[in-house]
Amino acid sequence: MTPEFPLEDNYADVLRKAQRGWGVSDLEICRQASLQPRAWAALLEGRAEEAPLRAVAGVLHL
């Protein structure tokens, strides 16, 4: 039987895994990246924008 989930991570999966790995809360990511919580939520929902991604990448050491 074939798995019913994707075997590869998308960028939102990578963000979530890095967040868990570093033990950083949503609010702390927003604070350190100078993002509004809705911008962080948009990234996690798959709505990528370059500037917020770059800011979050720095916080999460990506």
User: Could you read off the pLDDT of 17-54 as tens digits, one per residue?
Assistant: 999 999 999 999 999 999 999 999 999 998 989 999 99
**What's the DSSP call for residue 5?**
S
User: Torsions phi, psi of 54, nearest 5?
Assistant: -65, -40
> What is the token pair recorded at 57?
């990448």
Question: Do 16 and 29 meet the contact criterion of CB atoms below 8 Å apart?
Answer: no
Domain parsing of the chain, residue ranges: 11-59
- Check whether 9 has a pLDDT greater than 90: no
Predicted pLDDT at 4: 72
**pLDDT category of residue 3 using cuts at 50, 70 and 90:** low
Question: Do 10 and 41 meet the contact criterion of CB atoms below 8 Å apart?
Answer: no
- Check whether 2 has a pLDDT greater than 70: no
Torsion of CA 4, 17, 19, 55, to 10 degrees: -90
